[in-house]
Structure 1
Amino acid sequence: MKRRNEKKHVIDFLFPLAVFFVLAASSVAIVVLASGFYSRQVKASSDSYSGRTALAYVTEKMHQNDENGAIADGTFDGENALVIRQRYDEKDYVTYLYAYDGYLRELFIRDGTEAKASDGRKILATKDFEAKETSDGIFHLYCENEDGKKTDTFVSVKSAAR
């Protein structure tokens, strides 16, 4: 057998080393870009969570109590509120949904009972909440989370009494 006497060139060492560094740098760049993308997605998701969840909660309350004339926009202790009237055991009750002191709140009391806005149960952190009846049986709900992101929706009640 003939033994070949090959010369080793510097390129035989540098080329694999260069490929290794290019792959390592690419991997680091992909991880950095992916983490930035993930962080932005998490922030966007959490920003819209409170607004969407608050409006979904109010919408569900409206649909649960969709009776003739039971739902109206109004005020409670100086705060804009969604007012839901109910009757249990021949007694009238009112549910107020409103924003107060940084929270969407709910207060269920007997009609005519004195109460303050601070008495309501905290539902979700919310800077502002507003409910307006735009036309017969259609309500525009608006919510602003603690970061200032605004969310709104329209809800139709089927049994509008007009």
Structure 2
Amino acid sequence: MNDKTQEKHFIVDILFVLALFGVFAVSALSLVTIGADVYQHTVEDMSVNYDSRTAVSYIMEKVRQSDTADSISLTTLEDVPALCMLSKIDEDTYCTYLYYYEGHLKELFMRQGTSLGGQLLPAGTDILELTDLTFSYAGNDLIRVCLQTPSRETHTFYIHVHCSTTE
């Protein structure tokens, strides 16, 4: 073979290797981009599920913990609807309030009849971020709860107040 033929084969070999490397690089980049997109959607879905499931579970568990005779009622705190769950500690009666204020589900535990001088709503502890929360009676022993998560998903659920008596 002469030198020109060997040189042409050498150039073709180099071009083939470079083309193969280019195809590999483009394929790897595409795979990483697709994987990142799938991961991003998975994280978003998990966040939405966390927000909604945690809010529903938290409210339901709080009601179940306080479910004794005449211990759960709907009330208002400074004109904001709230769920009041009474408990007796020693000789004093306390109320755990669940309510919506400034974008959060809040919880406030205080002795019944205590006044904070018009500053009850900010005094509660932030539990979860929400965009809306309402409580209403759907029947004698049935409380309707509607909440909206930051992702704008609306959830409505009902809590049956058993009003079990303790002796």
Give the TM-score range, shorter chain.
Answer: 0.7 to 0.9
Pairs within 5 Å for 1:41-120:
41-115=42-116, 116-120=120-124
Counterpart-to-counterpart distance in 2, 1:156 and 1:24: 60
State the SS of the aligned residue for 1:124. Answer: strand
2:41 counterpart of 1:37: no
Contact 1:52–1:151 (CA<8 Å) still a contact in 2?
no
Ranges in structure 2 where 5+ consecutive residues have no aligned partner: 1-5
**Distance apart, 1:61 and its partner CA:** 0.8
**Distance apart, 1:96 and its partner CA:** 0.8
Counterpart-to-counterpart distance in 1, 2:109 and 2:146: 21
Match of 2:144 among 133, 137, 140: 140
Q: Which moved further from structure 2: 124-133 or 58-67?
A: 124-133
**Distance apart, 1:44 and its partner CA:** 2.6
- Measured against aligned partners, the alpha-carbon deviations of 1:37-60 in whole angstroms (never above 9, x if no partner) come to 211221232234233222221111
Aligned to 1:149: 153
**Distance apart, 1:79 and its partner CA:** 0.9
Q: Which moved further from structure 2: 21-30 or 152-161?
A: 152-161
Q: Which moved further from structure 2: 28-37 or 67-76?
A: 67-76
Alignment size in residue pairs: 156
**TM-score where L is the length of structure 1:** 0.77
Ranges in structure 1 where 5+ consecutive residues have no aligned partner: 1-6
State the SS of the aligned residue for 1:34. Answer: helix
State the SS of the aligned residue for 1:114. Answer: coil
* Amino acid corresponding to residue 145 of structure 1 in structure 2: T
Q: Which moved further from structure 2: 121-130 or 56-65?
A: 121-130
Counterpart-to-counterpart distance in 2, 1:159 and 1:58: 17
* Amino acid corresponding to residue 131 of structure 1 in structure 2: F
State the SS of the aligned residue for 2:162. Answer: coil
State the SS of the aligned residue for 2:67. Answer: coil
2:124 counterpart of 1:123: no
**What is the root-mean-square deviation of aligned Cα atoms in Å?**
2.7
Contact 1:137–1:160 (CA<8 Å) still a contact in 2?
no
Counterpart-to-counterpart distance in 2, 1:80 and 1:55: 17
* Amino acid corresponding to residue 41 of structure 1 in structure 2: T
Counterpart-to-counterpart distance in 1, 2:82 and 2:146: 11
Compare the two structures and name the one with the higher helix fraction.
2
**TM-score where L is the length of structure 2:** 0.76
